[in-house]
Chains A and B, each alone.
Chain A
Amino acid sequence: MARSPQTLFDKVWQRHVVSGETADTPALLYVDLHLVHEVTSPQAFALLRERGLRVRRPERTLATMDHSTPTLTSQVFGGLPIALEAARRQIEELEVNCAGFGIELLGLTHRQRGIVHIIGPELGLTQPGMTVVCGDSHTSTHGAFGALAFGIGTTEVGHVLATQCLLQRRPRTLAVNVTGAPRAGVTAKDLILAIIGRLGVGGGTGHVIEYRGDAIRALDMDERMTVCNMSIEAGARAGMVAPDETTFDYLAGRPRAPRGEARERALEEWRRLPTDAGARFDREIDIDAAGVEPMITYGTNPGMVIAIGEAIPERPGDAAFARALAYMGLAPGEPIRDRKVNVVFIGSCTNARLSDLRSAAGVLRGRRIAPGLRMLVVPGSQQVKRQAEAEGLDRVFLEAGAEWRESGCSMCLGMNGDVVGRGEYCVSTSNRNFEGRQGSGARTLLASPLTAAACAVRGRVTDPRELM
């Protein structure tokens, strides 16, 4: 009898069910790869100690530090003390925990350190068909490889450390079909911002998204990661893209990806993962990529987003909307273009891979950033940093007047010393424009690296196509 057609999600889920869900209990789901960082793990290790437990599968666990780490070379390598005392303690605690529990740690000065969602793929650890979790909501990034990857809370970090399993109810599935060729100047970041604009910030709650269609197939792995990264901004637990030749080529030769015969066997498995013809999703939406413009946010959640040439919407009578605009210092009906910008941040797990830096450098080459503007370029990992330097991108940024830092989360969440000042406008390639996300009173405008670089040159909100 023919098996009924399954989605990519169905297949990955089914392969990891240790015991199925019943009316009374959720499913027990096995975790292939557990990534750990310094901010959401200390209380989980404390839980293990309290109960006298060990880490069940240390070899399936990898730790790094990225959130509270400084990005100044003098503090990372130069022997200067880490300015933030509490961050220093958190970093030391992770070192002690990893040593004590036998977990591999890519520590502060390690060559392979970086933002947790950048190094997993970069090392070839993230592979199709896996379950990947981390105490961080942007774990959804790894779904670009056809993995089921999602963020968990600290108590669950403890569960996975102790048992390699999680209790989970099966989520619903949502297909986002993206078709057509995007126009010049329109990037993966613009596509996902447009998708979030359509779905709304709660539109994906309870769902795992599969991004499908020829516009997704045409994206390279860096771009697919940008798209999957922001699934959580639509409320979805995870985002996935079916693995294909693009995925397999990316993984070839990566230090921790399978090689030789193991790769052949893995490929056979991986090729069976894509959604079967005729498989059903709980919901579907269609997006025309050709109609997407360079996008920018104007409010305090990522769903408050418009094409860069559009005016800020008017919503009379909507108090929350009015409040968000008041925080942003913007008025309904006014254009966002030409608004003054104080800070530009190129970084984060959304857009700090090599291709993002190339794209920003392409705009900045031979140009200077606007007088008085501060621009921070923070590579997503030390490897990205080295590659960028080998290509001379660091020179482009420095000559343009930007700062070039060591890798880390930096200004994406402002808990490491890199912050945007009160009332300042920051065009940022990160993923969240929440009030105070980049610093108390900071005003964030989310955009692509292309747009961010164009804004840096002009010192004003600028359509990148004007500088291309």
Chain B
Amino acid sequence: MEPFTTLTSRTVVLPAANIDTDQIIPARFLTTTTRSGLGRHLFADWRYAPDGSRRTDFALNRPEAEGCRILVAGGNFGCGSSREHAAWALADSGLRAVISTEIADIFRSNALKNGLLPVTVDETVGGWLLAHPGAELTLDVAARTLALPGGRIVTFPLEAFARHCLLRGVDELAFLLERSEEIEAYERRA
């Protein structure tokens, strides 16, 4: 995994609350056996009309969304299924961070494993971000801060271990494999 230290980008905004993983990537695209190439199915039912044409009114299809690395969404983002395909599809589309007032547990964990930073903010900041699509933000993983336009800085929660893994680009499996003696000891006890 690439180390993730800071990110500066404009935002693309999806104001709906409770955006579930079936919206992020519908189940019919889960028949893949690889993790790459899922970006083209991201939000498929919102991005494309039933005849396959692009819906020009959908935020991610607008020209100003080009190059945006930060997605701002309404509360309880990523609820529903455990499909890691949701995180893969977002990352494959070039997104590196998701901001919401609340992010569902399994999605959060999946995002972190794919270098996609889950950022939770309070209602005030969340409301401001939803109302200002295209705002330029800077995220700093080491400091756990989000810098808003005009210089205001807010902190966000990020677990120490997740932060360490992001900053170093370490993956958890390597860490787990190093603990095999402890695992063996547990198996003998149990």
Contact = CB atoms under 8 A, between A and B. Distances in A.
A43 B182 contact: no
Contacts of B23: 434-436
B16 to A, nearest CB: 5
A43 B104 contact: no
Contact of A40 (B18, B82, B109): B82
Contact of B179 (A19, A87, A422, A437): A19
A169 interface: yes
Contact of A86 (B22, B31, B35): B31
B82 A159 contact: no
A309 B28 CA distance: 34
Interface in B65-123: 74-76, 79-84, 87, 102, 104-106, 109-110, 113-114
A350 B173 CA distance: 33
A137 B80 contact: yes
B177 A163 contact: yes
Contacts of B161: 24-26, 167
B102 A163 contact: no
A319 B160 CA distance: 37
Contacts of B187: 30, 164
A165 B33 contact: no
A53 B180 CA distance: 13
A331 interface: no
Interface in A220-274: 232, 235, 237
Interface in A1-56: 18-19, 23-26, 28, 30, 39-40, 42-43, 46-47, 51, 53, 56
Size category, B interface: 35 or more
A206 interface: yes
B30 interface: yes
B52 to A, nearest CB: 11
A67 interface: yes
Contact of B33 (A26, A93, A136, A415): A93
Contacts of A68: 30-31
B28 A155 contact: no
Interface of B: 15-18, 20, 22-23, 26-28, 30-35, 45, 50, 74-76, 79-84, 87, 102, 104-106, 109-110, 113-114, 159-161, 164, 172-173, 175-177, 179-180, 182-183, 185-187, 190
15 contacts: A24-B164, A30-B187, A40-B83, A42-B34, A86-B32, A151-B81, A152-B106, A154-B110, A155-B173, A202-B75, A205-B104, A235-B76, A301-B79, A320-B18, A434-B80
List of 9 A-B pairs having minimum Cβ-Cβ separation, nearest first:
A86-B31, A42-B33, A202-B76, A153-B110, A153-B84, A151-B82, A415-B27, A434-B22, A154-B84
